[in-house]
Chains A and B, each alone.
Chain A
């Protein structure tokens, strides 16, 4: 009995050490964002900020070319739009693929599966040309559309597995109660599959939030660029202003960390279902 207790204490201690080691870079980013430049470049950098420097955040909040708040807002507009568009388009598609038999269904599933594996640079140039021709290049719309091409296949495949897990009898009983296909779908299926809807929505948001290449290519003005592309440009300009750069990084991961705290179980389910089952 004693032995077992000691073993558990050791296991817990080891797990904490693993977490500290692996998550250290995040801590280091936060600490660096609060340090004075002189303290960052000291020969033995301290693990805690000895004096707190807040200008790295404050100066980027208001005006200036590299306005963090502005970039954050751009990313929010793009990511929320992607979330809405990709979820709304994906729900009926996933339902169709789960419920109906039709010619070429397997091919569609395959295509969605394959598009998830496409490198962004593979469609980047043609999208650039299309957006240029249609006149939406350099507007929010172009990264939104491009990000949706990642969100939609993921969402369709994830939601399909949720719809498949709902027994077909439920459809039938809804029809007996006077629902048609459409109302059965809206009133019965969507509410039951709602964990899947959340997974799809969260991931669509995260894909868009984390995107760099589309935001950097399809938008040419710093004040319209999403936050990841904003950081990249800022880095080019102020290469070693690490406290400012790290502050930018901290603000970028803020929504991700919040989503993570409140939606952890959806995220893990999305990752495992999406990756393994496809």
Chain B
């Protein structure tokens, strides 16, 4: 018990407190090694809320998260229902799809960066063959399309996650409910809306809240695909925090942005924990 706890206190507990304190200090590459750090109150936050990049990063992160979740959830749900039917390939193929979720995000980002490329990019080729576009689009170069490109890549990662969690939820619905509904002459539509959806309420809540948390803190995907560009169009809270700390070496500013990110996630986590508690798994 103790070693794991001490480890976590040292390398998570202490950093958390430290990061919050850093947000009220002025630590950069010049003052990094000073024993006494200058206390500046909420100066960092005042500056940040006047900062255009931060003011772009918050809506960007929200758009990215909500856009990803909606499609991941709908497609994942549809696939869960599809593979819940009884046929030879249902289980092996469902299992196979999990690969997309397991591979390192850096590699996924690389793959999609190539596919969205203007030169030799397969997505342009495909859309041109379908005559949807007439000439190659530089997806990652235009601010209007770059966000969509990273959302699509993230949807690809998230589909299996949503699918598996909904599948688990589906497996807990007792089959005889459907049988009695059949006897009562319920249609497919009615069975879905009056049995499946209400019975899945908890799974749906869990998958949406977890999906929000995991998506909102996105870093690798965006950092590899666009690095927040073009012109901050895909700048996220996490990537901006990283840049402030480790390319501008303004550690306090970076920590402050991370704190803002944390506060948003913390509120959502509280909401999730209340759900978990209601399910009484604690």
- A152 and B7 contact, CB distance less than 8 A: yes
Q: Which among A18, A145, A149, A256 has the highest number of chain B CB atoms within 10 Å? A: A18
A 90-123 binary contact with B (CB < 8 Å = 1; else 0): 1011011100000000101111111101111111
Q: Does B261 contact A (CB under 8 A)?
A: yes
In the complex, whether A19 has a CB less than 8 A from a CB of chain B is yes
B residues within 8 A CB of A96?
Answer: 1
Give residues 1-35 of B contacting A (CB, 8 Å).
Answer: 1, 3-5, 7-8, 11-12, 14-16, 18-19, 22, 32
Taking a contact as CB atoms under 8 Å apart, the answer to whether A15 and B111 are in contact is: no
A129 within 8 A of B: yes
- Minimal beta-carbon separation of A79 from chain B (angstroms): 11
8 Å CB contact of A231 from B3, B110, B164: B110
B97 contacts the other chain (CB 8 A): yes
User: Which stretch, B46-54, B77-85, B179-187, touches the partner chain A?
Assistant: B77-85
User: When chains A and B are docked, how far (Å) is the Cα of A225 from the Cα of B218?
Assistant: 21
The 8 Å CB contact of B220, one of A95, A148, A212, A242, is A212
A119 touches B219 (CB 8 A): yes
Q: Which residues on A sit within 8 Å (CB–CB) of B112?
A: 25
**B222 shortest CB reach to chain A, Å:** 11
Smallest beta-carbon distance A102→chain B, Å: 9
Q: Within residues 249 to 273 of chain B, which ones have a CB less than 8 A from any CB in chain A? A: 251, 254-255, 257-259, 261-262, 265-266, 269, 273
Set of chain A residues within 8 Å of B266, measured between Cβ atoms: 114
Q: Contacting A245 at CB < 8 Å: which of B85, B110, B276? A: B110
On chain A, the number of residues with a Cβ less than 8 Å from chain B's Cβ atoms is 88
B8 cross-chain contacts in A, Cβ below 8 A: 111-112, 115, 149, 152-153
Residue count of chain B within 8 Å CB distance of chain A: 85
In the complex, the answer to whether A276 meets B104 with C-beta atoms within 8 Å is: no
A180 to chain B, nearest CB (A): 16
Does chain B have a CB within 8 A of A1? no
* Cβ 8 A contact of A126, one of B18, B83, B114, B115: B18
Q: Is the interface of B mostly helix, strand, loop or mixed?
A: helix
Alpha-carbon gap, A149 to B9, bound state (A): 10
Using CB atoms and an 8 Å cutoff, list the residues of chain A in contact with chain B: 8, 11-12, 14-16, 18-19, 22-23, 25-26, 28-29, 32, 40-42, 44-45, 89-90, 92-93, 95-97, 106, 108-115, 117-130, 145-146, 148-149, 152-153, 156, 206, 209-210, 212-213, 217, 228, 231-232, 235, 240, 242, 245-246, 248-249, 252-253, 256-257, 259-260, 264, 267-268, 271-272, 275-278
Contacts from B to A (Cβ < 8 Å): 1, 3-5, 7-8, 11-12, 14-16, 18-19, 22, 32, 79, 82-83, 85, 87-90, 93, 95-108, 110-112, 114-115, 117, 119-120, 122, 125, 156, 159, 161, 164-165, 168, 203, 206-207, 210, 213, 216-217, 219-220, 223-224, 238, 241-242, 245-246, 251, 254-255, 257-259, 261-262, 265-266, 269, 273, 276, 281-282
Besides the contacts A11-B87, A117-B269, what 20 more A-B pairs have beta carbons closer than 8 Å?
A: A12-B88, A22-B159, A23-B100, A25-B108, A28-B122, A120-B217, A121-B258, A121-B261, A122-B16, A123-B12, A126-B255, A212-B105, A228-B220, A232-B223, A242-B120, A248-B110, A249-B107, A257-B103, A275-B207, A278-B281
